[in-house]
Amino acid sequence: MSDAARFDEPVSRPVWRRFAVRFVDRALAYVGDGGFAAVVHPDGAVEALLPRREDGTLASLGWWALASLDAAPASRDPDGAGPHRTRLDALQAEAVLDWCDRDAVHPGPRRAMPLDCVACTACCQDAHVVLEAADVERLGAVLGSNGAPLARDAEGRLHLVFVDGRCPNLEVAGACRIYSERPDACREFPPGSEPCLAAREETLGLRDEVADEEALASEECN
Ligand code: SF4
Ligand code: SF4
């Protein structure tokens, strides 16, 4: 659950679009307008083109999209000019082209999504929340008193143990019991990112609301 659990304004997220490599100039312009581009080469290889911030770092939602594909750069330091370009392997390309299909209903490079984390809580039911040392120090007393189990993962990192598919700190009404002290991973999780959309799809069955509404409308017409 991110820093702002409820948003007064819809969250703006990038829209994925596919481009044949001969239209790479259009893809670059599209990324310049804030969208995410998948550039398809004649041999089927796919490259992701993602916007950078002015300081040359990969913009946050781009980093999270690549992270969800295990393709995020090791460092978040500035590493070039122009869009960030990542050549994808076959499985990563399949996922990105699926996101392009999902987003085909959206006309522009950005999409406004009304999100309410308290009503949603999907990422508190579908996540692997790793605790950093600062989290353990900050949460020590809280974790000791609320009985939320902890464990170490295969890489030796301490993490929250979800029980029956939920974080033990998630109250039935959707609030986080330790909201003001919650782990950094929860604070930094961005609404509207690909992991957010994946959690909503996995937990709530929502594959991007507009697409779902259109599917329902078409079912009603048949
Ligand atoms: S999945 Fe997204 S919208 Fe839902 S609670 Fe998490 S950050 Fe908020
Ligand atoms: S600690 Fe649990 S309930 Fe709280 S924000 Fe993180 S995952 Fe959600």
User: How far is ligand 2, taken at its centre, from the CA of residue 147, in Å?
Assistant: 14
Could you say which ligand is closest to the alpha carbon of residue 122?
1
Residue nearest to atom 7 of ligand 2 (CA): 124
Residue nearest to atom 3 of ligand 1 (CA): 117
User: How far is ligand 1, taken at its centre, from the CA of residue 222, in Å?
Assistant: 33
CA distance 129 to 183: 8
| Residues 160, 183 contacting (CB under 8 angstroms) | yes
Ligand 1 pocket list (CB less than 6 A): 1-2, 115, 117, 120-123, 189, 191, 196, 199-200
Q: Which of 169, 179, 181 gets mutated to test ligand 2 (max ligand atoms within 8 A of its CB)?
A: 169
Q: What is the pLDDT of residue 48?
A: 98
Burial of 134-160, coded b for 16+ CB within 10 Å and e otherwise, reads ebeebbeeebeeeebeeeeeeeeebbb
Which atom of ligand 2 is least distant from the CA of 129?
7
The shares of helix, strand and coil residues in the chain, as percent rounded to the nearest 5, are: 40, 20, 40
Print pLDDT tens along the chain (222 aa).
Answer: 655 555 667 899 999 999 999 999 999 999 999 999 999 999 999 999 999 998 889 999 999 999 999 999 878 777 777 899 999 999 999 999 999 999 999 999 999 998 988 889 999 998 889 999 888 888 876 765 556 678 888 888 888 888 888 998 998 888 898 888 899 999 999 999 999 999 999 999 999 875 455 544 444 443
The DSSP H or E segment spanning 37 is strand 36-40
Ligand 2 pocket list (CB less than 6 A): 1, 124, 127, 129, 167, 169-170, 176, 178, 182-183, 186
Could you say which ligand is closest to the alpha carbon of residue 123?
1
Q: What is the pLDDT of residue 138?
A: 82
CA gyration radius for the chain? Answer: 19
20 - beta bridge partners? 40
> 215 phi and psi, to 5 degrees?
-65, -40
Question: 212 by DSSP, 3-state: which?
Answer: helix
CA 41 to chain centre: 26
Q: Rounded to 5 degrees, what angle do the CA atoms 98, 99, 102 make?
A: 90
Other beta carbons within 10 angstroms of residue 14's beta carbon come to 27
Could you say which ligand is closest to the alpha carbon of residue 139?
2
